[in-house]
Amino acid sequence: MFKNMWGKGKLLFSSYRAKTVILFFAILFVLISASGCTDVNSSYGEVELVEVVDSGQIDDALMKGPVVLKLGSKGCIPCEKQEEVLSEIVPLYPDSASVLLVDVKENPELAGAFGVSYIPDTCVIAGLENGSYVYIRQDGSASLDRNTARFIGLADKATLTETLDHAIEFREER
């Protein structure tokens, strides 16, 4: 009688263990499948997140429309979260704006040119005036001084789209 109970217990334990292992792998599979990565160069129509290595790329993008420029670094968690927000903005402006990224560790010259000291550092550039970038502040006013028109830290989607809309209006008025 003791042997039969031990055998049943062992069988139940093995069955329980097998179910637990299967459940573990099923949950793991779901988690891996559900977690997406932001592919920086994936396309959403005409506009995509583009990594920039020189200011000429910014100037070229400005020929098409305003530019949202994010200066940050790979491995910086707030920078990665900012890219997620920018990925949500990309499809809203397929033919009217560009979203550009600068890795300040890989491009220290650009970081220096833009006066980056904290990341993420995001700004909206409406155009060029006498060789200088024209930045748009959140309230819609234009400035040649980036320090008055930049977003340090994580900027939300509503703030960036509002500022980008102001930049589009600014360009249309000119």
SS (H, E, C) 135-169: EECCCCCEECCHHHCEEECCCCHHHHHHHHHHHHH
Q: What's the token pair of residue 120?
A: 């993420």
Q: How does pLDDT run across 142-171, given as a tens digit for each residue? A: 999 999 999 999 999 999 999 999 999 999
Contact yes or no for 111/98 (Cβ under 8 A):
no
Fold of 43-173: Glutaredoxin (3.40.30)
Q: Which DSSP category does 98 fall into? A: E
3-state secondary structure of 116: coil
Print burial letters for 110-135: b (CB count within 10 Å at least 16), e (below 16). bbeebebeebbbbbbbbbeeeeebbb
pLDDT of 24 above 80 = no
Residues 132, 112: Cα–Cα separation, whole Å: 15
Q: How does pLDDT run across 51-88, given as a tens digit for each residue? A: 999 999 999 999 999 999 999 999 999 999 999 999 99
Residue ranges per domain, the chain? 1-35, 43-173
Q: How does pLDDT run across 79-131, given as a tens digit for each residue? A: 999 999 999 999 999 889 999 999 999 999 999 999 999 999 999 999 999 99
| pTM for the full predicted model | 0.72
pLDDT of 32 above 80 = no
